[in-house]
Structure 1
């Protein structure tokens, strides 16, 4: 049951309100990313901006290369400092068009050391150069490797998966492909899904958000979908938008979202369908949290990360 008080503006703490105002102001002071060449936007994001500071890269990270559908596929690996209890397959955010596997190392270090998981992040192909289903095929290949020879190579048994924004979308789509194409419905014990983009036809909260860029806005999400899915493909096909898929037989999931996220409806709708499919899990909604608010330090972030830690540890 979701506490309806979370949606009352009065429940948003002062720290979160100040952070959201800073993010909006920082984005307003920058050039519109859609006015710049895509490679320039990718480079700026990697270097970090005032609106989206870069996360430090881990000196512990290594690369494992496996065979992907289009050639060698890189997995960024961060191992726990102690004995490994399992593995976490991470799929990065970035609207399918930006982002990289090395841009969220602090999250993976935390999961590695707190949960005892080997963390692997997929360097999937980006759109629009590589539209649907390229990114999904890469994530599917990574999951199959991890559920097969990767288990022995890494010396682990318990597998989990997760991601943020489009990474959460790709995580769900990967679970569906494992179930439907490979008869592996429970190869992964659980999914950590943070503010996923599950309906490329756009839910009401996306359509009604507007142009204020609190990390993302309506235009951004439309452009992401346009870049990922070629014209003529139904955006609400179950193999494109997992909100419309048969979700039966999937593992438990932790859904995380803030109330100040354009993708709020995506999470609420998907978590309801997940529960209706009797998959189990939990939905955590945070008052005033912006899109992927866990990338910004603060009390709200720490609460969310502690719950993610507990969820993943329970799956080992």
Structure 2
């Protein structure tokens, strides 16, 4: 049986269409600039209606010491008043792809349905900017958000970090930096199918080779670019962190047909063993980013409903 046969049938149609349009999936495009352009076109083709309940503003904020400014996009419920919870949003893309524009719909949805101020960060990408540039950008943006909480209308005691895939790995890495550098204080973190282990030794990392979305070969390539020939530390690959105590309560979800399945399950177990409250969801039939590519599927709706409820509860 092929691993593709395990995919939720309702979620498979868009994946098949993607592979028909781009044989081998977008990771099969060798030139990184062309690959980025293809992903941008793919995301731009997804029709997203304007949401009048949410306002947006882009700003340039201070980056890491001696480095360029970082762009953030601020989302706020249009009818909100007073202090709200804050969610720091880190986009995905395997450390080599993606931007805030490509995840505008997800950030807007979270802002609207959770009723929180969302600050989405545009971090530098590998291979042009290998580790630690991306995580240092993410940390700098979080520091700015916390320092400017009053202006943003954010309750500084109710800040969460959210990110999927590479954004999930950076979510955990940013939380580790916040713990190790003495702040900002975080109420919650939601690393979604996070990319956290550079070793590629788990069973699922060997199983997922021909799905067409973030298969083994693409993951190995991305880690190579991200590390830039240097060994991984805990801020690059959070599975290498020996001490997980002191991290904020977590929510992790991953699909059974996702290359990151086993590393994410193992990390959730380690959080629990370290005394960090962690809610773990493993969705049968879900592949990497299936809730985005097959947004109308019932499985995708269940995935999003659980995330929204968890964010509301944690930030109440």
Query: If the TM-score is normalised by the length of the shorter chain, which range does it land in?
Result: 0.7 to 0.9
Tell me: CA distance 1:117–1:55, structure 2 relative to 1, closer, same or farther (3 Å): farther
Q: Distance in 2 between matches of 1:58 and 1:128?
A: 34
Q: Aligned match of 2:10 in 15, 24, 32?
A: 15
Q: Distance in 1 between matches of 2:216 and 2:18?
A: 16
Q: CA deviation at 1:126?
A: 0.8
- Aligned residue for 2:144, secondary structure, equals helix
Tell whether 2:214 aligns with 1:216: yes
TM-score (ref. length: structure 2): 0.87
Check whether the contact 1:23–1:215 (CA below 8 A) recurs between aligned residues.
Answer: no
Q: Aligned match of 1:257 in 250, 254, 257?
A: 254
Tell whether 2:278 aligns with 1:278: no
Tell whether 2:181 aligns with 1:201: no
Match runs of 1:166-245 below 5 Å: 166-181=166-181, 183-184=182-183, 187-209=185-207, 211-231=209-229, 233-235=230-232, 237-245=233-241
Q: CA deviation at 1:303?
A: 0.5
- Aligned residue for 1:162, secondary structure, equals strand
Partner in structure 2 of residue 43 of structure 1: 37
TM-score (ref. length: structure 1): 0.87
Q: Distance in 2 between matches of 1:93 and 1:66?
A: 20
Q: Distance in 2 between matches of 1:166 and 1:46?
A: 16
Tell me: CA distance 1:24–1:275, structure 2 relative to 1, closer, same or farther (3 Å): farther
Check whether the contact 1:27–1:215 (CA below 8 A) recurs between aligned residues.
Answer: no
Q: How many residues align?
A: 300
Check whether the contact 2:19–2:25 (CA below 8 A) recurs between aligned residues.
Answer: no
Tell whether 2:63 aligns with 1:64: no
Aligned-pair RMSD on alpha carbons?
2.4
Tell me: CA distance 1:304–1:210, structure 2 relative to 1, closer, same or farther (3 Å): closer
Q: Distance in 2 between matches of 1:140 and 1:152?
A: 19
Q: Distance in 2 between matches of 1:167 and 1:293?
A: 16
* Residue-by-residue CA offset, 1:96-147 (whole Å, 9 max, x unaligned): 1110011112211111111111111110001111110000100010111112
What are the ranges of 5 or more consecutive residues in structure 1 without an aligned counterpart?
1-6
- Aligned residue for 1:100, secondary structure, equals coil
Q: Aligned match of 2:263 in 252, 259, 266?
A: 266
Q: CA deviation at 1:34?
A: 3.8
Q: Distance in 2 between matches of 1:299 and 1:293?
A: 11
Q: CA deviation at 1:29?
A: 6.6
Q: CA deviation at 1:294?
A: 1.6
Tell whether 2:133 aligns with 1:140: no
Q: Distance in 2 between matches of 1:19 and 1:75?
A: 30
* Residue-by-residue CA offset, 1:267-315 (whole Å, 9 max, x unaligned): 1111111111111021011111010222021111111111111111112
Q: CA deviation at 1:254?
A: 0.8
- Aligned residue for 1:71, secondary structure, equals coil
Q: Distance in 2 between matches of 1:156 and 1:310?
A: 19
Partner in structure 1 of residue 122 of structure 2: 123
Q: Distance in 1 between matches of 2:59 and 2:50?
A: 15
- Aligned residue for 1:254, secondary structure, equals strand
Q: CA deviation at 1:206?
A: 5.0
